[in-house]
Amino acid sequence: MRDDERYEIERAFDLLPHVVGSSWAVVWFRFNKIKNPTREEYREKVLEYLKMIVPVFESYPNDEKFSDIIKYIKYRKEKEFKKIISGLNPEIEKRYDRYVDYG
């Protein structure tokens, strides 16, 4: 698969963890008045919300013409989930620091 064929999916996976996962997690912590969650709690909550949109990741038809992009999506999803839970997604870590510092 050419890079230009997966460009939009790459951008989505660059943004979705912090735009969806982290944003929803912050609101959850705020409304529950949890001002200092641990990094692990924060990461788990981010992942919980990100996993709610997994049906979107699985929305392309199981058709030969989509097989390469489906494989890429599965690969990238797992990679992003691992980065979040292990603390290797710098945007999630930055948003955690911001939440704990400024709530």
* Other beta carbons less than 10 A from residue 13's beta carbon: 19
- Ranges of the chain with pLDDT below 70: 1
Whether 2 and 72 have beta carbons less than 8 Å apart is answered as no
Share in percent of the chain as helix, strand, coil (round to 5): 80, 0, 20
* Other beta carbons less than 10 A from residue 7's beta carbon: 10
* Other beta carbons less than 10 A from residue 58's beta carbon: 11
Polymer length in residues for the chain = 103
Q: What is the pLDDT of residue 5?
A: 87
* Prediction pTM value: 0.93
